Structure 1
């Protein structure tokens, strides 16, 4: 978890444009991104299942 106000370098590196943003990373490479505002637990679980 990153606070965008505290680590602007990571915000730039991962192109974070909205909060909250969930980025799934495997082996240093982005494999999925969810940046549609607040999502409930079911939506997050479905996103992870689709990208894991």
Structure 2
């Protein structure tokens, strides 16, 4: 079932900003993982961090 929603301009703007922020955080995490892999391949010990979720 498809529900159509009429978005107000402010809601649309908020949604776009939220998606952009989500993408930015996920993309940053991707590059962090790449850097971790490269450093480990070069023999460096990379500290493990635990986020408080």
TM-score, length basis structure 2 = 0.23
Q: Which structure has more strand as a fraction of its residues?
A: 1
Q: Which structure has more helix as a fraction of its residues?
A: 2
